[in-house]
Amino acid sequence: MKPPEGFHNSNPNLVCRLKKAIYGLKQAPRAWFGKLASTLVSFGFVSAKCDHSLFIHSTANSITYMLVYVDDILITGNNADFVQHVISTLNKIFPLKDLGELHYFLGIEAKSLNDGKLLLSQSKYASDLLHKLKMQDAKPVKTPLAPGCKFQSTGTEVAEDPSLYRSVVGALQYLTITRPDLAFTVNKLCQYMHRPLQSHWKIVKRVLQYINGTRDHGLLFEKSHNLHLIGYCDSDWASDQDDMRSTSGYCLFLGSNMISWMAKKQQVVSRSSTEAEYRSLAALVAETQWLKSLLT
């Protein structure tokens, strides 16, 4: 490790011995990840080409996955003895704390149910957001968006607190990790960050009302003998009244489990509904190819 700027050393040939990356340095995350990655590679793990934070150890009889986010690590596999061996070996190199079975990770709650089912949700994150905005007692509604609701950037009644709007919509974006039912509405709200109107803020409050009645909603994963990737896509046509661009949407299932979804405004104007549909299909195919490379 090179000495940090401002550190004067009479011998320019000396370097610092890196024991633990210092968070204050710009290169600290890179230095830490490089050290951890080289250690895992020495154990026989291989970094996935489509996601460098995913490490895979595969033999004829077992497979182990390790997902890294800074210094938080998830590890799973079909050989419990090898998983424990990896944990104990890592503990000798990096002091770590084994938290046991997965329950909470980066704001996402994991709950094991009967018959091997797994529920991923963000109920605590949603509750904290509602309490922060004093919306915990808001009357629940059945849909995040009212029927026939239109989004427009034209108007003179600007939101009272644009910074609050951006903060709340940003928080809602993180909530869409386990809530595909919010993806379309949140995507629309994100398009008005630069100049939110009072009408947009009213939609945000409706979304919060919807969340108040669906805090425990999430993604349910269950065992499936069918591991085929199945995708569905759709698109409207020129729905944006400001620039006449269309909105694409897709969802992908691995067996019976939804693992990927998207709602996004297209980058260019489509001259026909067919063209808009093909753009949506192209986005689905690109995501399918990425997931295919991740699974193989």
Encode the chain (296 residues) as per-residue pLDDT tens digits.
667 777 777 777 777 776 665 556 777 788 889 999 999 999 999 999 999 999 999 998 899 999 999 889 999 999 999 999 999 999 999 989 999 899 999 999 999 998 889 999 999 999 999 999 999 999 999 999 999 898 888 888 999 999 999 999 999 999 999 999 999 999 999 999 999 999 999 999 999 999 999 999 999 999 888 889 999 999 999 999 889 999 999 999 999 999 999 999 999 999 999 999 999 999 999 999 999 998 88
pLDDT at residue number 266: 96
* Domains of the chain by start residue, with CATH: 28-100 (3.30.310), 120-213 (no CATH), 224-295 (no CATH)
Residue written as token pair 């490089």: 34
Per-residue pLDDT reduced to its tens digit, 113-165: 988 899 999 999 999 999 999 999 999 999 999 998 988 888 889 999 999 99
Predicted local distance difference test score (pLDDT) of residue 21 = 54
DSSP string, 52-88: EEEEEEE-SS-EEEEEEETTEEEEEES-HHHHHHHHH
**Number of Cα atoms under 13 Å in the Cβ half of residue 3:** 11
- Nearest residue to 269 (alpha-carbon basis) of 231, 240, 226: 240
User: Alpha-carbon distance 189 to 218, whole Å?
Assistant: 21
158, 195 Cβ separation under 8 angstroms:
yes
Which single residue is written with the structure tokens 């919060």? 208
CA distance linking residue 248 with residue 276, whole number of Å = 8
